[in-house]
Structure 1
Amino acid sequence: MEIKIDDLTGSKVIALISEHLNGMLENTPPESIHALNLDGLKRPEITFWSAWEQDELLGCGALKELDGTHGEVKSMRTSSLHLRKGVARKIIEHIVTVAKERGYQRLSLETGSMESFEPARKLYESVGFQYCKPFSNYIEDPYSVFMTKEL
């Protein structure tokens, strides 16, 4: 698997982001969705990666710089064709490594509280994230859980 910085212009990546956003709409009230669209992911404070095997897109993830010591995991998504193959674990491990290289002291994330998000929460727990209060500009929301990891 090759994980590389992506410019979000390829049709496969655009389709995966669309799948991600549609998945959020299926499981979360619109006012509680914090997923970023393509324009949001192209902001300068965000680094976006895609994971590939040859020309097949496996998944994606992003890292948003909140400040010089704190990053946020965004847009973690595995292609529906590659679920439960370890793609998300490799991507989150890559993001954690980059965050450490940047000198961040903390990495945080927001994910859903519903049953459909349980696999994501279990993954984050398995790599050392712990539940926390809302961070940055987030507020308490019954559809969100917040997690953080000291680096």
Structure 2
Amino acid sequence: MSDSFWFTEGGLERPEVHELLQAHLDHMAANSPPESRHVLDLDGLRQPDIDFWTLWKQQQLAGCVALKHWDHTYGELKSMKTANAFVRQGVARYLLDQVIAECRERGYQCLKLETGSMAYFAPARQLYQNHGFVYCEPFGHYREDPNNVFMSLKL
């Protein structure tokens, strides 16, 4: 990413972030059945076990990402979303790299995630595989679901 981007913790109070997160919720509603959706809303992202970051280019929101702390061994990638104006510009890759670095700094042994199994989610799954994630069993409160896949990156 060029120097004109800046990454910062927080931002849940900003209207631009609300709009991006609503778009994320809308996309999940259009592409996943209700029982298979595990996307967090604003209240979910404000929980004490969640850290949230945003990426900006000048005053324009480029994307966001969250990390859920499960225990001292692993975290879960949550709510990673690129703003439409920044799709295919490396934003998702940058956000993922930042979260992986944070997990390493915390001493986690792995980073896990849940995403959809449908075609809509194929680009996300490919991004994760390109970063070394492998498919794994459900973790935490998740259960087997044909609409979801689970992935893990050993750190």
Common fold: TM-score over 0.5: yes
Q: TM-score, normalised to structure 1's length?
A: 0.98
**Which one of the candidate residues 57, 66, 83 is aligned to 1:53?**
57
Map of 1:113 onto structure 2? 117
Q: TM-score, normalised to structure 2's length?
A: 0.96
1:72 aligns with 2:68: no
- Unaligned stretches of 5+ residues in structure 1: none
Map of 2:92 onto structure 1? 88
Which whole-Å deviations, capped at 9, do the CAs of 1:55-79 have from their partners, x for residues lacking one? 0000110100000111000001001
Q: Take 1:70 and 1:106, find their aligned partners in 2: how far apart are those partners?
A: 5
SS at match of 1:65: strand
How many residue pairs align between the two structures? 151
SS at match of 1:75: strand
**In the alignment, is the contact (CA less than 8 A) between 2:11 and 2:17 conserved in 1?**
no
Identity %: 49
Mapping of 1:1-150 within 5 angstroms? 1-150=5-154
Q: Take 1:93 and 1:110, find their aligned partners in 2: how far apart are those partners?
A: 17
Distance apart, 1:7 and its partner CA: 3.8
SS at match of 1:35: coil
Distance apart, 1:80 and its partner CA: 1.3
SS at match of 1:48: strand
Which whole-Å deviations, capped at 9, do the CAs of 1:38-69 have from their partners, x for residues lacking one? 00001011000110001000011010000011
Q: Take 2:6 and 2:84, find their aligned partners in 1: how far apart are those partners?
A: 18
- Unaligned stretches of 5+ residues in structure 2: none
Q: Take 2:53 and 2:33, find their aligned partners in 1: how far apart are those partners?
A: 27
Distance apart, 1:3 and its partner CA: 1.2
Which whole-Å deviations, capped at 9, do the CAs of 1:101-136 have from their partners, x for residues lacking one? 001001000000000100000000011110011011
Give the residue type in structure 2 aligned to 1:12: E
Give the residue type in structure 1 aligned to 2:124: A
